[in-house]
Amino acid sequence: MKSRDRLRIAMQKSGRLTEPAQDLLARCGLKFRQSRDKLFCFGEGEPVDLLLVRDDDIPGLIAEGVCDLGIVGRNVLREFQLTNGTGSELSELRPLGFGHCRLSIALPQEDAYSEPSQLHGQRIATSYPGLLGEWLRAHGVDARVVMLAGSVEIAPRLGTADAICDLVSSGATLVANQLREAAVVVESEAVLAGRAELPLDERGEIAELLLRRLDGVIQVRD
């Protein structure tokens, strides 16, 4: 296979991170032409192209070498690092200052919470078994992790779990489902992910240039 000489960045096709990620790349001076399938965007000035995908696929695309960098929530990146053999090759290169949220454990409103040991023997529903498992081990809690791909917040009402571990930003979803936030597992925001070692060819040089521009943009904004 011919090696790539253009840098490829993966970002979310359509979701919470799409617009702020596009704005950030534009402020770094990157311009893209959108293709008809809207999956691949060719970079017009610099040799940098975009791949628009589901956020969950971004760490895997970088690990497999299909993309060099990705803009993704720390929650998604760290879950991949914990649950995939190739995850250790990836690292968080920069926090990007948008998409803030936290992965938290929440209990039914009527259950008071004082300490992690209360969760012993409980069933906790989540889409983040890696991150929740790490927190439970760190706090010496023996709980059962119930894996759910979505609608985690309704599990306690359905009786399929006693507690949940899910993303929270304003807290309105928890309130609407009669849940209360008990403990924060991870503080998250969008990050630039990449392999720990940048490629040693032209792509590495372009990546370094992009990182320098990004640092300038982030500094101005702060």
Interface with Zn ion by CB under 5 A: which residues? Answer: 55-56
Q: Is 172 in the site for ligand PRT (CB under 6 A)?
A: yes
Q: Which residue in the set 166, 183, 193, 207 belongs to the binding site for ligand PRT (CB under 6 A)? A: 166
Sheet holding 163-168, edge to edge: 144-147, 123-126, 163-168, 101-108, 179-188
Residues of span 73-92 touching ligand PRT by CB under 6 A: 73, 75-76
For ligand PRT, give the closer residue by CB, 186 or 217: 186
Which of the ranges 39-47, 61-69, 72-80, 137-145 carries the binding residues for ligand PRT, by CB under 6 A? Answer: 72-80
140, 87 Cβ separation under 8 angstroms: no
Query: How far apart are the C-alpha atoms of 122 and 40, rounded to whole Å?
Result: 44
Query: How far apart are the C-alpha atoms of 205 and 132, rounded to whole Å?
Result: 37
Measuring CA to CA, how many Å separate 167 from each of 25, 81, 124, 172? 25, 18, 14, 11
User: Three-state SS for 196?
Assistant: coil
Q: Is 15 in the site for ligand PRT (CB under 6 A)?
A: yes
64, 72 Cβ separation under 8 angstroms: no
Q: Is 99 in the site for ligand PRT (CB under 6 A)?
A: yes
Residue 21 contact partner, candidates ligand PRT, Zn ion, none, CB within 5 to 8 A by sort of partner: none
Q: Is 120 in the site for ligand PRT (CB under 6 A)?
A: no
Residue 134 contact partner, candidates Zn ion, ligand PRT, none, CB within 5 to 8 A by sort of partner: none
For ligand PRT, give the closer residue by CB, 131 or 206: 131
Tokens of 172: 């309105």
Residues of this chain that interact with ligand PRT (CB under 6 A) are 12, 15-17, 54-56, 73, 75-76, 99, 101, 166-173, 188
